[in-house]
Amino acid sequence: MPRVDGLWPGDTRVSRPIRNPSPMQPDESHSAPRLSLVVGGPFHDLLHRFGGIADDGLPRPEAAFLLAAIAWTLPALFVVAEATFGDGPSGWSFFGDATAYSRYLIAIVVMIGTERYAEARFALLIHQFRAARIVSDAHAQSLQDAVAVGDRRSSSRVAELVILLFVLGFAGWSTRYAAEIVPTAWEGRIVDGAVSLSWAGWSASLVSSPLFLFLILRWCWRFVVWTILLFRLSRLPLALSPLHPDRCAGLGFLSIYPSIFTGFVFAASSVIAATVLKELTGVELSSESIGGMLAGWIAIMLILFLGPLFVFVPVLREIRERALLDYGRLTHQHHTAFQLKWLESGRDGADLFVCSDASSLSDLTSSVALIQEIRVVPIDRFALIQLIAAAGLPLMAVVLSQIPMSELAKRLLFGIL
């Protein structure tokens, strides 16, 4: 289904002008289809209505800060208002609640602020399938169809409506639960065996928490759409080269993909770190338990966000095995002929200086060695480092709360030495 002026028929997303190509913005004059997991959908339309979308159709940086300010400031104002004019419980603990800062300020800013970067990376990856001719002209329409489906799913009104309904219900329950388990919670208190929300608790359950949870699940939906798209791409007839120097038959560029979600991982880890810090004020845990819990979280993030690349395992394994057989047979035939010609015929080795036989012998040997090094999953060390850093940096606050910085530096120094 072709686009008209950058839009799919019936799509309400903002049309984006074609800009000059750059490393972060591929040239759309090429025949590569365009995928946007950022532009489109009711929430994007709402931001556009209130001026939160720039001329290129992507969120303005100030929109992220404004939404975060609303999410955090609204409960804060109600805390002050109820303490001044109401007769409800004191909610001053809100200003010392690390989870409120991590959810309503850090997470919201990061999740919206990284959408522009994510948009450029998504476009770059899809563009590469056609620019590198990994998907040939004969199968370009299949690629176009797969991208079109992903593009529509990412801006699905039904998906965002389901997410919205869920977060409205869950936010109300989670706010009441927080007030129930913590006697001094700013969200409310227990009155006659029932939870009575404070003014700040009501504002959090109706505005702040739904906004935070909506953005979390919106990113999760994008992740699902991208995973399904990768699966569909892995089933296309891909023109891969077993001798490609990236050791992934030409799919090595996909190791860029995890960086798209590092902002989301950082935001989620910030919330986890704040929650753990809050729990540690009332529960004493051993350093081993804390370390195991944090290591488990990092492992979950690695498995979750590297997992989609495993859809290419059958493709890369097949091309590796086939290349080992084909190049192995060719190399054996060549080396046998070389042996007959140069070793068993009694010829003088000095003749090799004016003959290309030795060079072809070395080239074929290097080719087989290169094929043996093919990775069946297009993941490199840099992709791992990015995800570990995004997941681990916020958790350092938990580590430092249990181990003084001087002691931590000493342990690391002794570990290195």
Single out the residue of 20, 37, 38 nearest to residue 29, CA to CA. Answer: 20
Q: Which residue has the higher pLDDT, 204 or 7?
A: 204
Does pLDDT of 393 surpass 60? yes
pLDDT band at residue 15 under the 50/70/90 scheme: very low
Which three-class secondary structure state does DSSP give residue 30?
Answer: coil
Residue identified by tokens 């770059």 is 124
pLDDT winner (highest mean) among 73-77, 128-132, 368-372: 73-77
pLDDT in tens, 44-55: 999 999 999 998
- One-letter amino acid at 192 equals D
56 contacts 16 by C-beta, under 8 angstroms: yes
Q: Is the pTM of this model over 0.85?
A: no
pLDDT at 10: 37
Q: Which residue has the higher pLDDT, 271 or 340?
A: 271
The Cα 213–Cα 163 span in angstroms is 9
Percent of the chain with pLDDT over 70: 82
**C-alpha triplet 109, 168, 73: angle, nearest 5°:** 40
pLDDT band at residue 293 under the 50/70/90 scheme: confident
Neighbours of 271 (CB within 10 A): 19
pLDDT at 89: 62
Does pLDDT of 345 surpass 70? no
Q: Answer positive or negative: Cα dihedral of 294, 296, 300, 302.
A: positive
Worst-scoring range by mean pLDDT, 13-27, 71-85, 149-163, 375-389?
Answer: 13-27
pLDDT at 403: 67
Q: Which residue has the higher pLDDT, 29 or 306?
A: 306
pLDDT in tens, 270-281: 999 998 888 777
pLDDT in tens, 86-129: 776 678 889 999 999 999 999 999 999 999 999 989 889 999 99
Does pLDDT of 406 surpass 60? yes
Does pLDDT of 251 surpass 90? yes
Does pLDDT of 356 surpass 90? no
Cα diameter, the chain: 106
Mean pLDDT to the nearest integer, 10-25? 41
Any residues with CB less than 8 A from the CB of 241 and at least 6 apart, and which? 249, 250
Residue identified by tokens 């001719």 is 133
Mean pLDDT to the nearest integer, 219-228? 95
pLDDT at 292: 85
Percent of the chain with pLDDT over 90: 52
Does pLDDT of 4 surpass 50? no
Q: Where are the alpha helices (DSSP H) in 86-139?
A: 98-101, 108-113, 115-131
Does pLDDT of 218 surpass 70? yes
Beta-bridge partner residues of 53 = 59
Single out the residue of 310, 320, 323, 136 nearest to residue 236, CA to CA. Answer: 136
pLDDT band at residue 291 under the 50/70/90 scheme: confident
